[in-house]
Amino acid sequence: MRKFLFGVSIFLMLPFIGCEDNKADDTEGALQIIEVTTDNVSDGPYYFNLVTGKKDASTWHIVYQNLDVPFGNSVYQMPSIALSTSSMLNIDSNNEFESITTYPDASTFAPEAGRMQYGGPNTALSYDMAIHKVGVSDDSYIIYDTVTHKVFKVHFDEYSGGIVIFRYAELID
């Protein structure tokens, strides 16, 4: 019976299968994409150096920490992402993370200035009060290190219980 049901279902689903997107990525092989799992933000700020690919509290580009956020008469601690002052930011909301292979013109970079922090216009982490869940942005963040003049693309994939997974890759023009 299960086989029969399955068989008939496949037949009926064929029109749907025909709509499937083919998202094969032929550019991914060109860049080395690295996945990072942070520590739990409740244990303290997490600093990451994109150039060395290591957690580093002294020389870093990305910090993941709790921010005091006022809600009404109260203050909550919300997880937030920020950049170091030596980093400049460009936000790509139009392209898939995997498809970004080149970096934009240098004039398009600007200080982070709270844009990707909690409550910012392109916040990397947001909190949905309706379902009490922290969500991650679909945006890709292009980060320019003004010290080493290297450019990285970063994408935040998942947040769960204080821990974030993000991916990054160096963009070479």
CA distance 24 to 173: 23
* Under 8 Å between Cβ of 79 and 41: yes
Q: Is 138 in the site for other proteins (CB under 8 A)?
A: no
CA distance 122 to 138: 10
**Cα angle 40, 45, 50; round to 5:** 95
Q: Is 16 in the site for other proteins (CB under 8 A)?
A: yes
Q: Is 130 in the site for other proteins (CB under 8 A)?
A: yes
Q: Is 67 in the site for other proteins (CB under 8 A)?
A: no
- Is the torsion defined by CA of 127, 117, 31, 108 positive or negative? positive
Q: Is 20 in the site for other proteins (CB under 8 A)?
A: yes
Residue from 27, 42, 95, 146 that binds other proteins (CB under 8 A)?
42
* Under 8 Å between Cβ of 109 and 74: no
Nearer to other proteins, 79 or 124 (CB): 79
From the list 16-24, 26-34, 57-65, 138-146, the region that binds other proteins by CB under 8 A is 16-24
Q: Is 147 in the site for other proteins (CB under 8 A)?
A: no
CA distance 153 to 170: 6
Q: State the nearest-atom distance from the C-beta of 80 to other proteins, in Å.
A: 12
Q: State the nearest-atom distance from the C-beta of 164 to other proteins, in Å.
A: 8
CA nearest neighbour of 78 among 89, 64, 61, 91:
64
Judged by the rule CB under 8 A, the positions of this chain that interact with other proteins are 1-2, 4-6, 8-10, 12-13, 16-17, 19-21, 37, 42, 66, 69, 71-79, 119, 127-134, 157-165
